[in-house]
Copies of this chain bind each other. A is one copy, B any other.
Amino acid sequence: MEPYYKFRKGSFYIEEVEGRKIVEKFGTPVYVYSHSFLKNQINRIKNAFSNLPVKICFSVKSNSNISILKIMKANGLGADIVSEGELRRALIAGFSPSDIVFAGVGKKEEEIEFAVKKNIFCFNVENEEELDIIEKFGKKYGKKVVVNLRLNLDIDVDTHHYIKTSKSENKFGIDIDISERILKKKFNFVEIKGIHFHLGSQIKEVSPYIKAIEKVREFCKKNEFNLEILDIGGGFGIPYKEEDRIQSVEEFGKEIYQTLKDLNLKTLIIEPGRFIVGNAGVLITKVLYVKHKHTKNFIIVDAGMNDLIRPSLYGSYHLIYPLKLKNGKKIKFDIVGPICETGDYLGKDREFPEDIKRNDFLVVMSAGAYGFSMSSNYNTRLRIPEVLVTGKNVKLIRKRETYSYLFKLEKM
């Protein structure tokens, strides 16, 4: 059986007839998201944490399309944002400011001011200077501003080094002793109500969270800190292939409940992004050329690293299957994009029917998170459309870019 076939059961995928309709209407490459898959993931995570006072804030950076955000909002989620741009997106999508959490290691003054004015729920603060700025704008607008301190707990997790974020030598978080000193400082407009940690991304098991929560508990006890809000970040992993072993979100919820239940929290914040949207999206791409070289075979497709940079940047694995499934002899191909860099590839050494050919279509799975949101115009390529499938209905949620749009800011 095809390696992707079994995997597809747990992820959004596209069948031939449906796929052909989409590419006929919207062209390729195109991102396609599933409304029902999104809803299902949202419900799973809501249920998994339902016995805790949870605020589930969708990580906007994973997929920031306004229509996707509207789905999160409609299903009762909040938003985890990292910039003024993401805050604006969340507001356009209809989130109440009281459901918005602002994280990030480099918040600009004007971003902080904008968020204070908008009355967001809280800031996750990354250093002392940031507190002074929040205090300043709290004073300016006569508002108490709720903050959580992002602690650096020096916890290692098993993931790509670019997306581990809680080691001592990473840029994130505040060292414990500095946090203790901060707790003794007096603020008039800053209210430190909680603790935040974020361990990284694509984490496969709950144990680092449990370890982190225990460290937070010790920290609060030692400093007699009344913990009202605990923000345990996101990072819940998803399978990218059949053999990926990842604890289920239900297990995450159960274990975290056991660790937290006596803490009497007012609010537990979690910030899933990839968990909700990662396996809810695919990228459909067209075969431009098939190239047999003596050392390797290549399928050259019309989607490149500018459309999906995860393989190039992180060495990420995405399952890829032909839209039209075929039996018969398979040989190995590298699936590469049209960009003039050897680093521009989508998959390596994948088995495909040996008669795969020009104008066939391939589907790149698990492309819903950190796909479009990281895309660029490198090689002056237009960014591609995003469409949303709801039952039989297919809706364009971002138009393909045009050259006049692209060049507009350069015509001086």
Cβ-defined contact, A407 with B66, below 8 A: yes
Could you tell me how many residues of chain A have their Cβ less than 8 Å away from some Cβ of chain B? 91
Residue A366, interface by CB 8 Å: no
Cβ-defined contact, B340 with A162, below 8 A: no
Residue A304, interface by CB 8 Å: yes
**Cα distance A152–B291 in the bound complex, in angstroms:** 12
Cβ-defined contact, A291 with B340, below 8 A: no
* Interface of chain A residues 382 through 412 with chain B (CB within 8 A): 382, 395-399, 401, 403, 405-412
Tell which of B89, B170, B344, B397 touches A380, judged by Cβ atoms closer than 8 Å. B89
Cβ-defined contact, A162 with B379, below 8 A: no
Cβ-defined contact, B336 with A105, below 8 A: yes
Residue A267, interface by CB 8 Å: no
Residue A246, interface by CB 8 Å: no
CB distance from A259 to the nearest CB of B (A): 25
Cβ-defined contact, B341 with A107, below 8 A: no
Set of chain B residues within 8 Å of A104, measured between Cβ atoms: 338, 340, 379
Set of chain B residues within 8 Å of A381, measured between Cβ atoms: 83, 85
CB distance from A383 to the nearest CB of B (A): 8
CB distance from A275 to the nearest CB of B (A): 16
Which candidate, A10-18, A181-189, A322-330, A369-377, is the interface stretch facing chain B? A369-377
Complex: chain B residue closest to A402, CB-CB: B409
Residue A140, interface by CB 8 Å: no
CB distance from A166 to the nearest CB of B (A): 9
Residue A168, interface by CB 8 Å: yes
Cβ-defined contact, B85 with A379, below 8 A: yes
With A338-B104, A376-B376, A411-B66 in contact, is A403–B291 under 8 Å at CB? no
Set of chain B residues within 8 Å of A231, measured between Cβ atoms: none
Residue A175, interface by CB 8 Å: yes
Cβ-defined contact, A106 with B60, below 8 A: no
Residue A337, interface by CB 8 Å: yes
Interface centre among A127, A302, A406 (most CB of B within 10 A): A127
* Interface of chain A residues 302 through 336 with chain B (CB within 8 A): 302, 304, 312-314, 334, 336
**Cα distance A294–B178 in the bound complex, in angstroms:** 10
Residue A221, interface by CB 8 Å: no
Set of chain B residues within 8 Å of A294, measured between Cβ atoms: 168, 175
Set of chain B residues within 8 Å of A339, measured between Cβ atoms: 82, 106
Tell which of B395, B407, B408 touches A412, judged by Cβ atoms closer than 8 Å. B395
With A162-B343, A171-B298, A175-B293 in contact, is A105–B378 under 8 Å at CB? no
13 contacts between A and B (CB under 8 A): A66-B410, A83-B380, A89-B380, A105-B338, A106-B300, A127-B289, A162-B341, A171-B345, A175-B294, A395-B412, A397-B410, A398-B410, A399-B412
Given A66-B411, A127-B289, A313-B343, 7 additional A-B pairs, CB 8 A? A61-B380, A64-B380, A83-B380, A106-B301, A152-B293, A162-B312, A198-B340
Of all A-B residue pairs in the complex, the 8 with the closest CB atoms, nearest first, are: A106-B338, A85-B380, A162-B343, A376-B376, A399-B409, A168-B295, A169-B295, A86-B380
